[in-house]
A = this chain, B = another copy of it.
Amino acid sequence: MKKLINDAGTVVSDALAGVAAAHPGLRVDVENRVVYRASGPRRGKVGLVSGGGSGHEPLHGGFVGHGMLDAACPGEIFTSPVPDQVIEATKGVDGGVGVLHIVKNYTGDVLNFEMAAELCAEEGVEVASVLVNDDVAVRDSLYTAGRRGTGATLFVEKIAGALAEEGAPLAEVAAVAADVNARSRSFGVALSPCTTPAAGKPTFQLADDEIELGIGIHGEPGRTRAAAGPAREIVRVAMDAINEDLPLSGETLVMLNGMGATPLIELYVAFAEVDAYLREHGARAARTLVGNYVTSLDMQGFSVTVCHLTDELTRLWDAPVETPGLRWGR
């Protein structure tokens, strides 16, 4: 294992120091492990807090900023944040009108966010939660009861973030977050495993001619293994799974997401196949993201996330955003 780190035990803190140095728009509490907007909290604005294990960067810390999250709680690598982090973040972003927790469906995340929400409520901070569970690959998994939460998390953070920025009340922000999740489906494919710094060896083994279909973002098993084939065949498996679960139609928001170690040129090759598939099925990629957004350390592979748009969701997607990982004009 060769990694660009100082020590396997300090990766998260060392990286947070780098985030703090690189992004003056963020305030990083390295000790308590919370990434905030430097400008926050804003009185009268619903606060958005997310978090989860580290190793998925830019998710979540890279999505803190105007138009998206107010704070993110990074856990250790592939490990849920502890309730204290979430409590700290929730209180820290409270603008007096409540806080939305955006939680990916992993057992540890769910439990720790729930515990934090209860404790914050006892202290007078109103908290609503949305559970993201967009991954159609498997029903239950190594770390999850029910579907896993993956790429749609970014869509939820962006769209709910835009609505919160406009001053909408907590119930509406929570409702749009749930709606985005309900309209989104994802499927991931691994060409290689990933290696956590602590373990120092790959999370699983794949033969040279083998890929894992329906992989999670922690190297947890997918649906099945298959022979490595051309991108168009691999993409078709992913898109078939998405289309079987929620038939494609109309205008969609599509993310072709790299798992961390796949070159961008390959992601574009795959995106061309996604686009062709959508057209064949009477749908259209009206909005797109191609790149590394919800990663799995040094895993080679990709995931596709499709969200069925409405005019209102498109408007909120297009709203200004200014975060390290997603940024467009005001």
Interface string of A1-36 (1 = CB under 8 A from B): 011111100011011111101110000000000000
Whether A2 pairs with B268 at a CB distance below 8 angstroms is no
Whether A288 pairs with B55 at a CB distance below 8 angstroms is no
Interface class of chain A by DSSP:
mixed
Whether A4 pairs with B267 at a CB distance below 8 angstroms is yes
Known A2-B208, A327-B328: A263·B298 in contact at CB below 8 Å: yes
Whether B57 pairs with A265 at a CB distance below 8 angstroms is yes
Binds B, one of A86-94, A162-170, A230-238, A306-314: A230-238
Which B residue sits closest to A228, measured CB to CB? B2
Number of copies: 2
Which B residue sits closest to A328, measured CB to CB? B327
Contact residues in B for A230 (Cβ distance below 8 Å):
5-7
Binds B, one of A103-111, A214-222, A289-297: A289-297
Whether A292 pairs with B290 at a CB distance below 8 angstroms is no
A12 to B268, CA, bound (A): 9
Smallest beta-carbon distance A300→chain B, Å: 7
Binds B, one of A117-125, A141-149, A153-161, A270-278: A270-278
Which B residue sits closest to A58, measured CB to CB? B264
Contact residues in B for A17 (Cβ distance below 8 Å):
268, 272
Within 8 A of B (CB), among A230-267: 230-232, 234, 256, 260-267
Smallest beta-carbon distance A28→chain B, Å: 10
**Chain A residues within CB distance 8 Å of chain B:** 2-7, 11-12, 14-19, 21-23, 54-55, 57-58, 62, 77, 191-192, 208-209, 211, 228, 230-232, 234, 256, 260-273, 275, 285, 288, 290, 292, 295, 297-298, 300-302, 320, 322, 324, 327-330
26 contacts between A and B (CB under 8 A): A2-B208, A4-B262, A5-B231, A6-B231, A11-B265, A11-B269, A14-B231, A14-B269, A14-B272, A15-B265, A17-B268, A18-B272, A22-B275, A22-B285, A22-B290, A23-B288, A57-B265, A58-B264, A77-B265, A260-B263, A265-B297, A322-B329, A327-B327, A327-B328, A327-B329, A330-B330
